[in-house]
Amino acid sequence: MSKHKISTLLFLITLLCNVPLLAQIPQVPAELEFADLIVRINPQARREIQLDVDAQYRNPNYFKVKQERVNLYMPIIEDILRENGVPEDIKYLVIQESGLIPDAVSTSNAVGFWQFKQGTAEEVFLRVDNHIDERKNIVSSTKGAALYLKKHNNTFDNWMCALVSYQMGLGGAKAYFGNQYNGKKIVDVDRNTHWYFKKFLAHKIAFQNQIGVLTSNTRMVEVPVHGPTTLAALAKKYGVTEDHLKEYNKWTANGKIPSDRTYSLVYIQEGTLTAKPAIIQESKPKTNSSTKSTASSPAYRQANSFPRIAGNTTKASQPDQITVNDLDGVQAAQTTSLSKFSDQVGVKERKLRKLNDLEPGERVEAGEYYYTEKKKTKADVATHVVMPGETLWSISQKYGIKLSSLKAKNRIRRDSDLKAGMVLNLQEHRKRGEEIPVVRVNQTPPQKAVVASNQSSTRQESSSTVASSSSSQNRYSQDRITHTVSKGETLFAISKKYGVTVNDLKSWNNIGSQNIISIGQKLVILKP
């Protein structure tokens, strides 16, 4: 056989071996969501971005190694971004910057996961010296990146500009963008769009469907460490080798951890530390796990005892009178605006909104309990069985757990992903790839209780609300809303307004893949 034929045969074998991976290369869409933006990409820019996406998949072995790093570090990164009020989509930037290599160094001497230069690192309170370099610490550096990006977004009110400013600096981005994108929620990407943002989109597209797909029985564990101590001592404590800790904690140059602050140590745990799926007690023999009964479930019964209210309940609508799940709280006497309610309880509107995971413009509902101090990262009980009509927000309020923590523990992001009967974790994080158990529940949504003493004021508030809705051409019924599209509105903006997803809107209204809507069009929205 000739050398030419042998070379051709080897090439074909290599190509065939890589077909499964090549077939999975994602294609750049004409439109996508990034943070709170709708990004529209013209054909020329799509081709340009697709070249970068293809490049990520070109070497299957290299891609697999990077994919494994991504899946190890992303749960930690996602939690930190959420806790700091930064869109989860920003997580793809760390892949672009360093490929999640802790001691990566650029030609401009930027170092670590998020590629900080020393001056910028110190600006976001990272310690950088001969002993400690927090740029190489995944927790510290991600907090620093979140602080840096959030500060820049406060200037632009546009996450694309904030993201490009990560590369250019705030002054450079101001000079480049001016104020043309400030506050805009639709961004058009073409050949003139900054290369850094297009490269970011390539990384988002390349990796967004790869996170969580691995079945490796390992996970990265993060623990706070108070010095002085050493990696050698901590290795014994956590049952790993000192070399293992050195590999994943390159932020400490000499293996010593000082006492000036609390540091975050990470290591790889074989197996899982997450809670096992809730055990549902049954009076009948076991059947398929997806159809178990909850009639005698402890998790089902415990939900009826939450929220736990204590204190002077006769004055629950006044501040400093009751606790809700051992946290300071108050009950809304009537349906009203958040600004009026904040005045009544003596807490600034922005703070009250943050404490209760509320979106700007959301109403306060009569009879609901609201927190006036920070919610917890875990509940007092381990699990909750989702009932019909419940939302992620209502569950987080029921147990006094942060909404971001609830989502992170269960790897669930939207109310549309909830199903009645799901057994959600309230304390431990669910393992990557682990399915959420589902049990049988009564499919009739519980009727919301009415505060009798406030029926009159509630009806008055409802009347004014309906009048306001009518003036804005939105008609409310018990289970559905009809929204009339106004000039300048997009599907994304409407979805945010009603707390639903763009895909839901498209499904309910038979809207095609181009997301085209017209002024005056009536959209049906099913209330979550």
Which domain CATH number covers 103? Answer: 1.10.530
DSSP secondary-structure letter at 179?
T
CATH code of residue 245: 3.10.350.10
Whether residues 60 and 103 share a domain: the answer is: yes
Flag whether 448 is in a domain: no
- What does the alpha-carbon distance between residue 496 and residue 11 come to, in Å, rounded to a whole number? 50
For 236-272, give one letter per residue: b (16+ CB within 10 A) or e. eeeebeeeebeebbebbeebebeeeeebbbbbebeeb
According to the model, what pLDDT value does residue 488 have?
Answer: 65
Q: Is pLDDT larger for residue 348 or for residue 493?
A: 348
Q: Is pLDDT larger for residue 307 or for residue 3?
A: 307
pLDDT over 70 (residue 347): yes
Return the residue matching tokens 């946290």: 327
Straight-line distance from the first to the last Cα atom of the chain, in angstroms, rounded to the nearest whole number: 67
- What does the alpha-carbon distance between residue 160 and residue 44 come to, in Å, rounded to a whole number? 19
Flag whether 426 is in a domain: yes
Structure confidence at residue 348 as a pLDDT band (50, 70, 90):
very high
Tens-digit pLDDT profile for residues 7-59:
555 544 444 444 444 447 899 999 999 998 999 999 999 999 999 999 999 88
Last residue of a domain, one of 398, 422, 440: 440
Flag whether 282 is in a domain: no
Flag whether 466 is in a domain: no
Structure confidence at residue 291 as a pLDDT band (50, 70, 90):
very low
Whether residues 144 and 251 share a domain: the answer is: no
Q: Is pLDDT larger for residue 257 or for residue 23?
A: 257
Whether residues 37 and 64 share a domain: the answer is: yes
According to the model, what pLDDT value does residue 304 have?
Answer: 56
> What's the token pair of residue 177?
């963008």
Containing structural domain, residue 410: 289-440
Cα separation values, 419 from 1, 357, 438, 520, 526, Å: 61, 21, 8, 33, 15
DSSP secondary-structure letter at 291?
G
According to the model, what pLDDT value does residue 201 have?
Answer: 96
> What's the token pair of residue 68?
């494994």
Enter the pTM of the model: 0.53
Whether residues 38 and 176 share a domain: the answer is: yes
Rounded to whole angstroms, the maximal C-alpha distance in the chain is 94
- What does the alpha-carbon distance between residue 112 and residue 142 come to, in Å, rounded to a whole number? 10
Poorest-confidence range of 1-10, 229-238, 476-485?
1-10
According to the model, what pLDDT value does residue 509 have?
Answer: 73
Poorest-confidence range of 62-66, 202-206, 269-273?
269-273
402 contacts 358 by C-beta, under 8 angstroms: no
Last residue of a domain, one of 440, 455, 483: 440
H helices present in 138-287, as ranges: 138-156, 159-168, 170-177, 195-207, 231-238, 242-248
Work out the number of other CB atoms within 10 angstroms of the CB of residue 206.
Answer: 25
521 CB-side CA count, 13 A: 18
- Which of helix, strand or coil describes residue 369? strand
Poorest-confidence range of 160-164, 306-310, 395-399, 496-500?
496-500
Q: Is pLDDT larger for residue 335 or for residue 146?
A: 146
Whether residues 94 and 45 share a domain: the answer is: yes
115 contacts 104 by C-beta, under 8 angstroms: yes
pLDDT over 90 (residue 195): yes
Flag whether 91 is in a domain: yes
Last residue of a domain, one of 182, 207, 232: 207
pLDDT over 90 (residue 205): yes
Residue whose C-alpha is closest to residue 100's, from 131, 72, 60, 122 = 72
Structure confidence at residue 450 as a pLDDT band (50, 70, 90):
very low
Mean per-residue pLDDT over the chain, rounded = 79
Domain count for the chain, please give it: 4
pLDDT over 80 (residue 114): yes
Flag whether 133 is in a domain: yes
Percent of the chain with pLDDT over 90: 45
Element (H, E) at 54: helix 43-57
Q: Is-cis flag, bond preceding 228, omega within 30?
A: yes
- What does the alpha-carbon distance between residue 237 and residue 255 come to, in Å, rounded to a whole number? 15
Poorest-confidence range of 415-424, 439-448, 483-492?
439-448
Whether residues 240 and 135 share a domain: the answer is: no
According to the model, what pLDDT value does residue 327 have?
Answer: 87
Whether residues 193 and 47 share a domain: the answer is: yes
Whether residues 39 and 183 share a domain: the answer is: yes
pLDDT over 60 (residue 461): no
Q: Is pLDDT larger for residue 510 or for residue 284?
A: 510
Poorest-confidence range of 18-27, 67-76, 480-489?
18-27
Flag whether 8 is in a domain: no
Q: Is-cis flag, bond preceding 307, omega within 30?
A: yes
According to the model, what pLDDT value does residue 516 have?
Answer: 66
Whether residues 417 and 522 share a domain: the answer is: no
Structure confidence at residue 210 as a pLDDT band (50, 70, 90):
confident
Percent of the chain with pLDDT over 70: 77
Structure confidence at residue 302 as a pLDDT band (50, 70, 90):
low
Bin 198: left if φ > 0, else alpha if -120 < ψ < 50, else beta.
alpha
Structure confidence at residue 528 as a pLDDT band (50, 70, 90):
low
Structure confidence at residue 97 as a pLDDT band (50, 70, 90):
very high
According to the model, what pLDDT value does residue 121 have?
Answer: 93
- What does the alpha-carbon distance between residue 144 and residue 121 come to, in Å, rounded to a whole number? 7
Over range 79-105, report the average pLDDT. Answer: 93
Residue whose C-alpha is closest to residue 66's, from 47, 88, 92 = 92
- What does the alpha-carbon distance between residue 74 and residue 408 come to, in Å, rounded to a whole number? 11
Q: Is pLDDT larger for residue 326 or for residue 206?
A: 206
Structure confidence at residue 214 as a pLDDT band (50, 70, 90):
low
Cα separation values, 219 from 102, 142, 257, 273, 455, Å: 17, 18, 23, 9, 51
Q: Is the dihedral of CA 49, 54, 59, 61 positive or negative?
A: positive
Work out the number of other CB atoms within 10 angstroms of the CB of residue 191.
Answer: 10
Q: CA 349: distance to chain centroid?
A: 23
Over range 194-221, report the average pLDDT. Answer: 83
According to the model, what pLDDT value does residue 6 have?
Answer: 52
Flag whether 510 is in a domain: yes
Tens-digit pLDDT profile for residues 380-429:
888 888 887 788 998 999 999 999 999 999 988 888 888 888 889 998 88
Whether residues 413 and 355 share a domain: the answer is: yes
Angle between the 195-207 and 43-57 helix axes, to the nearest 10 degrees? Answer: 50
Structure confidence at residue 258 as a pLDDT band (50, 70, 90):
very high
According to the model, what pLDDT value does residue 237 have?
Answer: 87
DSSP secondary-structure letter at 293?
E
514 contacts 490 by C-beta, under 8 angstroms: no
Q: Is pLDDT larger for residue 447 or for residue 318?
A: 318
Whether residues 479 and 386 share a domain: the answer is: no
According to the model, what pLDDT value does residue 290 have?
Answer: 35
- What does the alpha-carbon distance between residue 321 and residue 341 come to, in Å, rounded to a whole number? 16
Whether residues 89 and 48 share a domain: the answer is: yes
